[in-house]
Structure 1
Amino acid sequence: MLTGKKLGIIGLGKLAEAIVLGLLKNGALKREDVAGSVKHAESLERVRTRLGVEATLDTPAMIADKDVIILAVKPQNVAKIAEQICPIVQHHQLIISVAASVTTGYIEDRLPPDVPVVRAMPNTPAVVNEGMTVLCKGKTATKEHLALAEEIFRHVGRVATIDEHLMDGVTALSGSGPAYMFLMLESLADAGVKLGIPRDISTLLAAQTMLGASKLALETKQHPAILKDMVTTPAGCTIDGLLELEDGGLRVTLMKAVVKAAERASELVVKKSEPNTDCLNNS
C-alpha cells in the first residue's frame, strides 16, 4: 500500500527522523521518495547527512507532489503551517498529524474541504523502533487512509486505532507512559545499588526485566495478574515485595497519575480559533 508513494514530512525532529529511518531500513520507501522541510537553514545539512533525503526550507513546494504529508511540528505551529499549505494541498493527499493535543477538526477547518486527516499519538520509544502509536481518523478520512497511516507507524513499533474522544486518555497512558516507566526503572536500579549491586549492572537488570516482562505480556496476551502470579510463589520473597508495593499505594498512585495526566491533556487541547478564510474561500 505504501510502495510507490511519495512522503513529505514537515518538521524533521527526532520523531520524524525515527519514522524516516524505520521506513528506509525496512525497505518500505526509497530515499528518493522521501523529502522534508525544516524551519532553520542550519538543519538542512543535518537532515541530508543523517537521513540521506532531500530537505528544504520551502514547505509548500516540498508537499506539492507528495501522496502523504506528516505534520511533525509543535502544536502552536500547526495553524501557521496549515495556512502555508492550504493553497497547495489537494484532496488526494493524506495529512497525518503527530502534533499533540491538536484535533483532526482543528486541522480540517484550516484546509480545503475533503482533505483527509489522520491524527497520530506516538511515544518516544519510536526512536528505537519500539514505539506505541495510536491513530484516529478525521471526518473525511477513510479506512484506507487509516490503513496507510498504520503501515507507516508499524515501522517504528506497534499501532492501535481508537475513537478520537479517547485520545486524551491515550496521551496520558502511552504518550506520557515512558516517563512513568523510567521513574520505576530508576527506582528499581536505585534499590539494586542500595543492596550493593554496581549502578550499571543494576540498571541493566532493571531495564531488561522491564523489557522482558512487557514482551511476555504482549506475546502471551495473558492478564498481568496471571503473569504476576507465575512469579509469586507461596511464602516466597516476591510476595513480600508485592506487599510493600501495595502498602505504599503503587497501584492506586499509578492509576491516579494516568487520570490526572488525561485531565491535563484535555486542558491542553488546542482551542478553536478562526482559520484564515482567504485560502478556504478560494478552494
Structure 2
Amino acid sequence: MKIAIIGAGRMGGAILERLLEIGFASKDNIIACDINENRLIELKQRFGINVSKDNKDGAKFGDIIIIAVMPKQMKEILEEIKPYVKSKIIVSVVGLVTTNFIENILGNNISVVRVMPNIPS
C-alpha cells in the first residue's frame, strides 16, 4: 500500500517517521509533499523517501492520502487533488475541518477518516 503525506511539517513529519519505524510502509512506498523545499530535502536525506512540492503527485501516488496542513489551506488542497482521489482513502489530521467539509468537496463516494493525534510540544 502506498502512502502520501500532504503537509510534511511537524505533524506530518511525525506521522511519516512513525509509519517507517513500525514498518507500516517501506520508504519506496511513501511520498511527502510540502511547499517547503528545504523540509523536503531534509526528509529525503533522512529517510530516503520520495518527495514533491506538488500535491497532485502525492494524490496520484498514494492509496492512502494523509493530509496534515493548516485548516486555511484545506479547501484549496482538496480542490487541487480532487481529480486523483477516486477509490482512495483520505486521512485528515487537520483540526477544525469536518469529514462533511471534505466529502462536500471530494464527493460522498470517497472514504474519509478524521483523526486528531497529539505530539508533545
Could you state the TM-score of these two structures normalised by the residue count of structure 2? 0.92
Alignment gaps of 5+ in structure 2:
none
List per-residue Cα deviations over 1:87-126 (Å, max 9, x = no partner).
1211x2000000011100011111033011111111113x
Tell me the amino acid that sits aligned with residue 77 of structure 1: Q
Tell me the amino acid that sits aligned with residue 53 of structure 1: I
Query: Deviation of residue 25 (structure 1)?
Result: 1.4
Supply the distance in 1 between the matched residues of 2:102 and 2:108 (Cα, whole angstroms): 11
Q: Is 1:100 matched with 2:95?
A: yes
Tell me the amino acid that sits aligned with residue 105 of structure 1: N
Tell me the amino acid that sits aligned with residue 96 of structure 1: V
Supply the distance in 2 between the matched residues of 1:18 and 1:41 (Cα, whole angstroms): 18
Contact 1:17–1:51 (8 Å) recurs in 2: no
- SS of the residue 1:64 aligns to: helix
Query: Deviation of residue 15 (structure 1)?
Result: 1.5
Which residue number corresponds to residue 82 of structure 1?
A: 78
Contact 1:20–1:51 (8 Å) recurs in 2: no
Supply the distance in 2 between the matched residues of 1:102 and 1:112 (Cα, whole angstroms): 15
- SS of the residue 1:99 aligns to: coil
List per-residue Cα deviations over 1:115-160 (Å, max 9, x = no partner).
11111111113xxxxxxxxxxxxxxxxxxxxxxxxxxxxxxxxxxx
Supply the distance in 2 between the matched residues of 1:86 and 1:6 (Cα, whole angstroms): 18
Task: Provide the identity percentage.
Answer: 34
Which residue number corresponds to residue 113 of structure 1?
A: 108
> More strand per residue: 1 or 2?
2
Query: Deviation of residue 49 (structure 1)?
Result: 1.7
Q: Is 1:33 matched with 2:15?
A: no
Supply the distance in 2 between the matched residues of 1:70 and 1:122 (Cα, whole angstroms): 12
Which residue number corresponds to residue 62 of structure 1?
A: 58
Supply the distance in 1 between the matched residues of 2:3 and 2:104 (Cα, whole angstroms): 23
Matched residues, number: 121
Supply the distance in 2 between the matched residues of 1:47 and 1:73 (Cα, whole angstroms): 17
Alignment gaps of 5+ in structure 1:
126-177, 179-283
> More helix per residue: 1 or 2?
1
Query: Deviation of residue 50 (structure 1)?
Result: 2.5
Instruction: Mark the structure with the bigger radius of gyration.
Output: 1
- SS of the residue 2:115 aligns to: strand
* Mapping of residues 123-272 of structure 1, within 5 Å: 123-125=118-120
- SS of the residue 1:35 aligns to: strand
Contact 2:9–2:39 (8 Å) recurs in 1: no
